[in-house]
Amino acid sequence: MSDSMVTVEQFIAEQEREHPDATGAFTDVLLQMSLAAKIIARSVNKAGLVDILGAAGTDNVHGEEVQKLDEYANDVIVEILGKGGSVCGIASEESERLILIPEGYETGPYVISIDPLDGSSNIDVNISVGTIFSIHRKRSTGRDVQESDVMQLGSEQCAAGYVQYGSSTMLVFTTGAGAHGFTLDPSIGEFLLSHPNMKMPRPGKRIYSINEGYAPKWSDGQRRLVERFRNGEGEEGSFSARYVGSMVADFHRTLLRGGIFMYPGTVDAPGGKLRLLYEVAPLAFVCEQAGGQASDGRHRVLDIEPTELHQRIPAFMGSPELVELAERYLAEG
Ligand code: P6P
């Protein structure tokens, strides 16, 4: 049977068979995430047709206006994973505190951190948005899940991935055995293996991706780095600039074409904007599994010890030689 006829269920079942001691709980979490992705995709693709657009009128924990699709995506994932019996806690961009599993529902050995609908500010203008997820195994010994169970090193992730709701809906994830992409065939409601063992091309396209509107607030090193890219000064030659403003879209393009995606800190926000636990660390896991590199400008993202649930960090992800170049420029200050 050709790869294109492999569903995500078959693929995950095959991976589970390679782990004789597997209990199936891990498989269930991945399958529940793929089900949630299909349900969210249905609404995202119809967003313009139903009264689900526009601000829900409430603000999330970061004081940002919440779009109704944000809430909807969060509720779908919490409902499916919360009752799926395989997780014992959920950290979400949409919830200040860890979401516990309701009384009466079975819990499992995993915790999941999610950005239910990243790039939500682009929903109304029909630009790609995405869901990002990160799965860890519960580490605390007590019965109750602790925040420390989600605040683990990125290198301790059991799995991580994202869904891009774009021209097609794609699910990309890794369990540490390569990064694999599945494209949703809406006619049969199945994610089909379309991008087995994804590898970032090397040297890859010379694309730099950053919001240059913040240039006046960058460090001198960051400014000089972007000038090098913009002016084609280095031995890597000339670059194209691409910036969607939706992290999953910018990351996915970088994964497939190469280049570098950057969301640096600024003088008034040294930690940048992107969240470690449910945005940068999961994508960093996928990035490294595809042969890329992911840094906060100084350290490997997967080695960064989380200190709070919604902690922000700068992000530099893409072709290793470009991420290392960025680190050298930032070190010069
Ligand atoms: P800016 C979307 O709101 C998001 O969280 C990411 O998806 C995206 O990379 C970033 O913010 C865009 O932020 O400041 O460039 O608009």
Average pLDDT, the chain: 92
Residues of the chain above pLDDT 70, percent? 93
Residue among 121, 128, 273, 278 whose CB has most ligand 1 atoms within 8 A, to mutate: 273
Q: Is the model more confident about 22 or about 38?
A: 38
Which residues partner with 87 through β-bridges? 110
| Ligand 1, residues at Cβ distance < 6 Å | 118-119, 121, 211, 245-247, 250, 263, 273
β-sheet with 260-263: strand ranges across: 240-241, 207-209, 260-263, 315-318, 293-295
Residue among 66, 121, 262 whose CB has most ligand 1 atoms within 8 A, to mutate: 121
Q: What is the pairing mode between strands 260-263 and 207-209?
A: parallel
List b or e across 120-151, with b for residues whose CB sees 16 or more CB atoms inside 10 angstroms.
Answer: bebbeeeebbbbbbbbbebeeeeeebbeebbb
Which residues partner with 114 through β-bridges? 92, 133
CA of 247 to the centre of ligand 1 (A): 6
* pTM recorded for the entire structure: 0.94
Q: What is the pLDDT of residue 180?
A: 97
Using CA positions, which residue lies closest to atom 16 of ligand 1? Answer: 245
Mean pLDDT, residues 66-88 taken together: 90
Domains plus CATH for the chain? 3-197 (3.30.540.10), 207-332 (3.40.190.80)
Instruction: Fill in the DSSP letter of residue 98.
Output: P
Residue 67 has pLDDT above 70, yes or no: no
167-186 tens-digit pLDDT: 899 999 999 999 999 999 99
CA of 245 to the centre of ligand 1 (A): 5
Full DSSP string of 57-83 = EEE-TTSPEEEHHHHHHHHHHHHHHHT
Mean pLDDT, residues 121-148 taken together: 92
Q: 68-72, 185-189, 295-299: lowest mean pLDDT where?
A: 68-72
Mean pLDDT, residues 204-220 taken together: 95
Q: Where on the phi/psi map is residue 29: left (φ > 0), alpha (ψ -120 to 50), or beta?
A: alpha
Mean pLDDT, residues 1-19 taken together: 80
47-60 tens-digit pLDDT: 766 555 555 666 66
CB count in 10 Å sphere of residue 19: 11
Name the token pair of 306: 């989380």
Q: What is the pLDDT of residue 33?
A: 96
Q: Could you tell me how many residues make up the chain?
A: 333
Q: Which residue has the tokens 């400008």?
A: 297
Q: What is the pLDDT of residue 4?
A: 53
| 213: confidence class by pLDDT, cuts 50, 70, 90 | very high
Which atom of ligand 1 is nearest to 119's Cα? 2
Q: Distances in Å between the alpha carbon of 169 and those of 45, 149, 182, 200, 274?
A: 9, 30, 8, 20, 23
Using CA positions, which residue lies closest to atom 10 of ligand 1? Answer: 245
